[in-house]
Amino acid sequence: MTSSMNQQAAASQKTRAEQETENEANRLREQVDAALAIVALRSPDEVDSLQTAADRIERAARDLADAIRQIAEQRQTADE
């Protein structure tokens, strides 16, 4: 089996909540990368962009935490 086939097989076994968690983690990574790019500019004109980036990171982190909690609840319910 090729690597992409293994990834597809693993992806098909993920629950909706697990897929959502992965998506939220990827979104957070993208927001962090975007923020780091703005920081690297070292421009005083980028203050608003930095504030916006910080807000986006906070939202993405909150969404990821919510998705992880949802998985925890599902797994706890499954164990009961």
In this model, does residue 50 exceed pLDDT 90? yes
User: Whole-model pTM?
Assistant: 0.78
For residue 8, the model assigns a pLDDT of: 61
In this model, does residue 1 exceed pLDDT 80? no
For residue 70, the model assigns a pLDDT of: 96
Task: List, in sequence order, every beta strand (DSSP E) within the chain.
Answer: none
Domain ranges of the chain: 15-79
Query: CA 70, CA 32: separation in Å to the nearest integer?
Result: 23
Residue range 10-37: mean pLDDT, rounded: 93
Backbone angles phi, psi at 34, to 5 degrees: -65, -40
